[in-house]
Structure 1
Amino acid sequence: MDAIWNSFVEWLRGFGAQAGQQAAEAGAQIGGQVAEGVSAAANQLDMTSLLALAAALGWASGFRLYAVVFLVGSMGLVGWLPLPEGLQVLQHPAVLAASGALLFVEFFADKIPGLDSLWDIVNSVVRVPAGAALAAGVFGADNATMAVVAALLGGTLAASSQAAKTSTRAAINTSPEPFSNVAMSLVEDGLVIGAVWLATSHPVVFGILLLIALVLMWIVTWMLFKFLRAAFRRLRNLFSPDSAPA
């Protein structure tokens, strides 16, 4: 009886070891297939799609840098968006944790009158170079020429959207009610998500809409700049010593 029991135990051990080995091999095979699929999908991105993605990352960074980093990194982590090699660092847990925490702070800070403008001024030194770096990361180090072109494109687009955002918020803050700040902030949140989705799904349509948006932003920025300059001039005249009653 002991001999039969020992034989049965040995058979179970052998069966368990064999099953575990087969499961490990199957897991490795599936993981390899998934990795090959993601790599193949990333390699299938043509130049139009890559340029659209670079432009979207740069332009959206001028509005919501931390939202861009967290959104793109999360999409890459779950496999919704095959990230180019230069952007795969965005899906690292440390990068996701840092960008998620900053996104949480920015989501509320951007909706408080006065604080939103201060937040924009502080982050203006980060958004433009970060937008350039994200755009360059679409092409990576393997294509240095296009990476430089993308960096110039992304930095310019980030500066344009940052200027439009800052001047718009400054004009809105001349009104005491807070609802317009919240509404504009929510619009910017939607623009980031829409830009990333449209650039990855319909790059040509995104390119056309981006050109239209840029022209409109430059016009609005110029008009708001003139409005703010006139408002500051009136305030300066109001509080100047010469305007005080005798």
Structure 2
Amino acid sequence: MLELLTGTGLALAAGLNAWVPLVVIGALDRFTGLVELPPAWAWLSNEWVLLILTVLLVLEFVADKIPGLDSVNDVVQTFIRPTAGGIAFGSGVDASTVAVTDPETFFTTQQWVPVAVGVVLALGMHLAKAAARPIVSAATGGLGAPVASAAEDAGSITLAFAALLAPVLVLLAVVLMAILVVMLVRRRRARRVRVGHPPTTG
């Protein structure tokens, strides 16, 4: 159960920022005794892999703070974040999950299931984030986008550490995010109603 919560938290974190959970899990494995990656995922703690992931993290961090460029970044990340989510979930669930080194074995033994679950979770989170961003931008004239992006980065970092160090907290995070999504959907519907039926005067 805890392994599933760990995988879920890491995948959701990847849906907000593809590189945060991968950097966190790799760094904790390499520099601390808090995380021990399964052998097949040990490449995440390689110093060169960590360096590349950190550079990509910085690039996304900057790109997502610039109005206009953040929308382009979201389009590109539609493919990257789910992939990162699959890797994060797969590396987080348990030591029996393996990387895709033998495609035939990978699919016939259902070892692809954790990776697929991670892809779906990260994609869902990414789509929710991408849908919320235009609402924030429209409400603030674009000025709120950097703030929203910073909040998403903070959420990704918090989720990643919670997933690895206190997996039970992932349940609370999932509930809170579900509430936020519902609130955003209701607000969007209310706005459409106002636009479709503007108030009359006089």
TM-score where L is the length of structure 1: 0.64
Instruction: Report the counterpart of residue 32 of structure 2 in structure 1.
Output: 79
User: What letter is aligned with 2:178?
Assistant: V
Q: Is the 8 A contact 2:41 2:98 kept in 1?
A: no
Q: Label 1:167 to 1:190 Cα distance change in 2 as closer, same or farther (>3 A).
A: same
Seen in structure 2, the aligned counterparts of structure 1 residues 181 and 82 have a Cα distance that, compared at 3 Å, is: same
Q: Which runs of 4+ in 1 moved over 6 A?
A: none
Letter of the structure 2 residue corresponding to residue 93 of structure 1? E
SS at match of 1:121: helix
Q: 2:64 aligns with which of 103, 110, 116?
A: 110
RMSD over aligned CA atoms reads 2.8
Separation of aligned partners in 1, 2:53 and 2:176 = 26
Length, aligned pairs only: 182
Q: Tell me: CA distance 1:60–1:227, structure 2 relative to 1, closer, same or farther (3 Å).
A: farther
What is residue 213 of structure 1 aligned with on the other side? 176
Quote the Cα distance in structure 1 between the aligned partners of 2:150 and 2:58. Answer: 14
1:193 and 2:151 matched: no
Give the one of 141, 148, 162 matched to 2:98. Answer: 141
User: What is aligned with 1:120?
Assistant: 74
Cα distance per residue 1:136-161 (max 9 Å; x no partner): 2333239x778444223312221221
Of Structure 1 and Structure 2, the greater helix share is in 1
Question: TM-score normalized by structure 2?
Answer: 0.76
Which residue identity does 2:32 align to in structure 1? G
For residue 19 of structure 2, give the secondary structure of its aligned residue in structure 1: helix
Q: State yes or no: 1:170 paired with 2:134.
A: yes
Secondary structure of 2:67's aligned partner? coil
In structure 1, how many angstroms separate the alpha carbons of the residues matched to 2:119 and 2:188? 21
Match of 1:92 among 46, 50, 54: 46
